[in-house]
Amino acid sequence: MKKYTIKDIALLAGVSKGTVDRVIHNRGNVAKDVEEKVKQLLEEINYQPNLIARNLKNNKVFYIGVLIPDPKIDAYWAVCIDGINSALSEFSAFDVQINTFLFDPTDTDDFLACNDTMLKTAPDVILMVPLFYKEATSVLKHYESLNIPVGTFNNQIISSSANFIGQDLYQSGRIAAKLLHSISNKGDMAIVHIDEKYKNAVHMQEKEKGFKSYYDDMDLFEDSVLTCKIKYFETEDKLRDFLNNHPHIEGIFVTNSKAFHVARLLESENKTHIKLVGYDLLSDNVNYLNSGTIDFLIHQNPRQQAYLGLKYLIEYLVFDKQIPEKFLLPIDIINSENVTPFLRP
Amino acid sequence: MKKYTIKDIALLAGVSKGTVDRVIHNRGNVAKDVEEKVKQLLEEINYQPNLIARNLKNNKVFYIGVLIPDPKIDAYWAVCIDGINSALSEFSAFDVQINTFLFDPTDTDDFLACNDTMLKTAPDVILMVPLFYKEATSVLKHYESLNIPVGTFNNQIISSSANFIGQDLYQSGRIAAKLLHSISNKGDMAIVHIDEKYKNAVHMQEKEKGFKSYYDDMDLFEDSVLTCKIKYFETEDKLRDFLNNHPHIEGIFVTNSKAFHVARLLESENKTHIKLVGYDLLSDNVNYLNSGTIDFLIHQNPRQQAYLGLKYLIEYLVFDKQIPEKFLLPIDIINSENVTPFLRP
DNA sequence: TCATAAATTGTGTTCGAACACAGTAATGCG
DNA sequence: CGCATTACTGTGTTCGAACACAATTTATGA
């Protein structure tokens, strides 16, 4: 129960605290038999250093580089800033300095340029959204060679050793399927990919796979699952054609945060009987959720992703904790009745 | 940007660190003009004491009394222990000592007895589940007179000033209604209260109110909402009668964690077409969720409730943080596809 | 005026880990 | 043997806040 200090161990071993310290940090210059004895004692009483005292002495400032898409260009990322601030205030006792860089999520060159700018601030660790697979891969390799630990979220770059926070996208597609299946009439199901100009193809593919796997498992031969890919600028027309060509559609799954586009069309075309499931608590989506046109939203929790990613990095810096390789957040199902508490900062 | 220390302020004010310290802690014995000057300086540079250094000196051990129902008697409470351990390991750097007491959730006398035993350990703060309204009220009043801060969760004792962590039960009932409404065929809805011998009447009433309010809002005159109260020991017979007497029931809402009892009956009576929504991720419930007899579970997250309650108390002790009066957790909707990550410790 | 009390201010130590540096003992080598 | 070198060990200081206590200044009264 009692908390042992270095002094206690020194007393027990009959040596000075300096020697104990040398043993703990493997700093050498200790006689073999003494080292053995001290190590055994440390083991026996399961010595845990007082992290408070350690951090009082190590009064150096840690610099963290954060690289995320600009919320002014895509509102989805706005809540990440909140998550970062949460982690920051949680560790306000420590000297952690954050430099945030916002890149244009439609521009790979800007992504690379921001990485360069960030490197100039000599960060001890980096938290980033590796939005572009190819560019991110090379950037991450570079950081690895510089021995800068990196945390990533939202997009997983499997080739990298960087830590990753996100969700199981395949499972997320299955959840959408289960929800639509449980609330829809018999009929066709549509998966709608609305491309946002930038590469989240992997995201959408995984979700589609999961969605289809659920319907495969169900052996619902009478219903078919259709897929519709739409470029951002042609959403309305193409979607209208798609719905007219497939009059038996009873449910739509939008694989990203743009479900509100579909909702708008369903309302204007008087097809609100079609059930709609999408992603993310953007205010546009939440409005359609409350009006009933969107039935469920799946919450990808970017706020929590950013928070956790940063927390792991800070704990690595100040407590020498191991950074977990991967952490998959639980997937929240949101409807009009439980949405409110998820919106608060 | 720079972090100022007491020494810095002393230097700037042309006094000694002792004087600055006296000003900060209003310990008197400072000339008025000097006090003014130092206070102004502190204000100007927005002095924030280094919490690490403060806690190094304050090396006293904090004792926390925890009082929760015995998980051996009701499995619902088992995950609370995990939550407590999480909070504990998060603050392992500080000398926080926890004494946990488990009371019989069917026995008010045991609750009172455990409170007495706990008081003998002279706790600095207390975290408890105030399961019995009357007894808890008097106990909380006693702690207030002893100036022992108390955190409560699961049950709110409105008359008390103790902090409370929980969920909005009324809203939780509305969520159940929304879910059942979206997945059920037209027909009657049943609210089933399975009494567990001990008093959670307030819980169940609030949930019922919320449930009904949703159906009232919907103006669903054709469907009626029935209520069925069942004593624990007569569950099966009474429920069977109830279902036989009301053949048009299409959905059942069980207001506590005992939905598995209803699920078992639905299976044995071949009435699995009836949709079922209940509470809590007990393994019995999860099994029926996976088999499809239970459609949704609402997650009350007792683990998180315990974790947060304890976290607030510890932060109060070690960082002098204000304990928030009330915190309502978001309400998680669980189906068979997203349940897994919620089950991990 | 001077002793004494009261008011005010400064100094030094503590907490535990980390590390610089001084000190002691053992060994090597001419 | 004597001096240097290596091998090992102990001491002292630092981080920032907190507080005990010493020191100093000012006020009071005989």
B56·A53 Cβ contact <8 A: yes
Average pLDDT over residues B194-221: 81
- Is residue A198 scored above 60 in pLDDT? no
Q: Cα-atom radius of gyration of chain A, to the nearest Å?
A: 26
- Is residue A146 scored above 90 in pLDDT? yes
Instruction: Provide the percentage of residues in chain B whose pLDDT is more than 90.
Output: 71
Cα–Cα distance, A123 to A164 (Å, whole number) = 19
CA distance B246 to chain A (A): 24
Instruction: Provide the percentage of residues in chain A whose pLDDT is more than 90.
Output: 71
The token pair that represents B240 in the structure block? 């069977």
Average pLDDT over residues B202-229: 85
B52·A50 Cβ contact <8 A: no
- Is residue B216 scored above 70 in pLDDT? yes
Domain residue spans of chain B:
6-49, 60-166+302-328, 169-299
Chain A contact present for B29, CB below 8 A: no
Among residues A289, A270, A305, A294, the alpha carbon closest in space to that of A339 is found at A289
CA distance A146 to chain B (A): 28
CA B103 to chain centre: 17
Architecture of the domain made up of A60-166+302-328: 3-Layer(aba) Sandwich (3.40)
Which phi and psi (to 5°) does residue A156 adopt? -95, 125
Give the angle A197-A199-A200 at the CA atoms, nearest 5°. Answer: 110
A332 to chain B: which residues are within 8 Å by CB?
330, 332-333, 338
Among residues A113, A158, A122, the alpha carbon closest in space to that of A143 is found at A122
CA distance B52 to chain A (A): 6
**Segment B329-341, tens digit of pLDDT:** 999 999 999 999 9
Cα–Cα distance, B283 to A138 (Å, whole number) = 45
Average pLDDT over residues A104-113: 93
Q: Mean pLDDT in chain A?
A: 91
> In chain A, which ranges are E strands?
62-69, 96-103, 125-128, 150-153, 163-166, 188-195, 225-231, 249-254, 275-279, 296-299, 326-328, 332-334
Q: Does the domain made of B169-299 have the CATH classification 3.40.50.2300?
A: yes
Average pLDDT over residues B197-208: 78
The token pair that represents B208 in the structure block? 């019922």
Cα–Cα distance, A58 to A319 (Å, whole number) = 11
Q: What burial class does residue B158 get, using C-beta atoms within 10 Å of its C-beta: 0-12 exposed, 13-18 middle, 19+ buried?
A: exposed
Chain A contact present for B345, CB below 8 A: no
The token pair that represents A236 in the structure block? 């309305």
β-sheet with B125-128: strand ranges across = B96-103, B62-69, B125-128, B150-153, B163-166, B326-328
Question: In which element (H, E) is residue A102 found?
Answer: strand A96-103
Which phi and psi (to 5°) does residue A212 adopt? -65, -35
Supply the pLDDT for residue B1: 57
Spanning CA of B11 to C1' of D27, the rounded length in angstroms is 28
Q: What length is written for chain B?
A: 345
End-to-end CA distance of chain B: 39
Chain A contact present for B89, CB below 8 A: no
Residue A56 pLDDT level (bands cut at 50, 70, 90): confident
Residue B223 pLDDT level (bands cut at 50, 70, 90): low
Q: Cα-atom radius of gyration of chain B, to the nearest Å?
A: 26
Q: Does the domain made of B6-49 have the CATH classification 3.10.129.10?
A: no
Cα–Cα distance, A225 to A173 (Å, whole number) = 13
Average pLDDT over residues B188-193: 93
| AA letter at A293 | T
Residue A235 pLDDT level (bands cut at 50, 70, 90): confident
Task: Tell me if domain A6-49 and domain A60-166+302-328 are identical in fold.
Answer: no
A335·B94 Cβ contact <8 A: no
The token pair that represents B108 in the structure block? 């008010």
Cα–Cα distance, B150 to B143 (Å, whole number) = 7
Residue B120 pLDDT level (bands cut at 50, 70, 90): very high
Supply the pLDDT for residue B145: 94
Helices A302-319 and A78-90, axial angle in degrees (round to 10) = 30
